[in-house]
Amino acid sequence: MKLRDFFYALATSTEVYARFRREPEAAMKDAGLSSDQCEAILAGREENLSQLLFHELPDHLASKDLDLTITLPPPPPQYDVVVSGPIAKSVSPPATAWGEPDSLWKRSGLTIVGTGIRGGLQTTAEARVCIVQATKVLYLLADPISETWVQELNPTAESMAPLYLKGKHRLVAYEAMVDRILSCLQESGDVCVVFYGHPGVFSNPARESIKRARVNGFEARMLPGISAEDNLIADLGIDPGQSGLQSYEATSFLVNKINFDPSAGLILWQVGVLGEVLWNPPHLAVRERLPLLSSYLTEYYGADHEVVLYHASPYPTSQPEIERIPLSDLAKAKLVFSSILYVPPNGRVKFDPDMADKLGLNWRSGR
């Protein structure tokens, strides 16, 4: 059995996945996996698994200059940076009214769903039904297993990844995706668009297509998915209810001088494309910009403050990659290009005894 087929079975069959969790060696042996495949799975290294998957690709795909460890760029930023010479400013997307959610129970119109990070395993039953029933499916996914699964669920499935053009501004790709989504909607009247993770988290094409679909008289709705942040909270043992949690796109965080609170946890997305506006992987120039970010954060946390680079693997057998380093070593980190940066709280929140009294919180008695 090919590794891709085994991963597909794990992602789509609860029985296969349950047995693998219970008896991993026996499950791999029965699947006929090679010793190299079994060793890579047990090691849990996404990079090694990606290379094995790459060698299984058909010739017409394997001949391309592909890197499955960075199949797609990180999710589109909330704010796209406008460049004129050096970085000049950042602007938010057009302020078109979002409106109230349209009916979730109607099949017609535009439905945006997310697969979660591990497609199949983390995809909700609700999203799966929408993919299966849609007249037309478009998708933008980050791994070949999720892609195969969506294609099996609905034969009309079409990837929007080719709309990324190397060396071009990312907004060009986003606009092309929105145009393709609306064109299919005009033709069929019923389209489901599948994004990885949560479709509303840093996904310009998802939000913009819903806005424009509604303006053009179509019903449109978005269903929630499991995001990389959800995986991070689970894997790092973070409770946002204890100290709070702030979440920003890294470039926007710097250029807009965000007024944040160091006593609450801080998540910075897209550190791997810091200052990048062009689709030009692998974005090697980013490492030269990381000292700007670490220097800025050091003002609030100190150089020795431990931060965490986190990457949630899309593969059902891989552990998340977690790198803990002092803030001063951020530019030397290994996981920069595919990770979220988590900065733990620094100090305690400020307690307001007057407000506690008004709320009747009997804090003086310790109850």
Can you give the chain as a three-state secondary structure string? CCHHHHHHHHHHCHHHHHHHHHCHHHHHHHCCCCHHHHHHHHHCCHHHHHHHHHHCCCHHHHCCCCCHHHCCCCCCCCCEEEECCCEEEEECCCCCCCCCCCCCCCCCEEEEEECECCCCCCCCHHHHHHHHHCCEEEEECCCHHHHHHHHHHCCCCEECHHHCCCCEEHHHHHHHHHHHHHHHHHHHCEEEEEECECCCCCCHHHHHHHHHHHHCCCCEEECCCCCHHHHHHHHHCCCHHHHCEEEEEHHHHHHCCCCCCCCCEEEEECHHHCCCCEECCCCCCHHHHHHHHHHHHHHHHCCCCEEEEEECCCCCCCCCEEEEEEHHHHHHCCCHHHCEEEECCCCCCCCCHHHHHHCCCCHHHCC
d(CA 107, CA 109): 7
Q: Examine the residue annotation and report whether 164 is marked as an active-site residue of this protein.
A: no
Annotated catalytic residue 300? no
* Residues in Cβ contact with 353 at an 8 Å cutoff, skipping those fewer than 6 apart: 363
Mark whether 342 is an active-site residue: no
Determine contact, residues 115/150, Cβ cutoff 8 Å. yes
The catalytic position among 196, 248, 301, 315 is 196
- Cβ-based neighbour number of residue 123 at 10 Å: 24
Of the residues 8, 174, 310, 342, only one is catalytic, namely 174
Set 8, 139, 170, 214: catalytic member: 170
Active site residues: 170, 174, 196
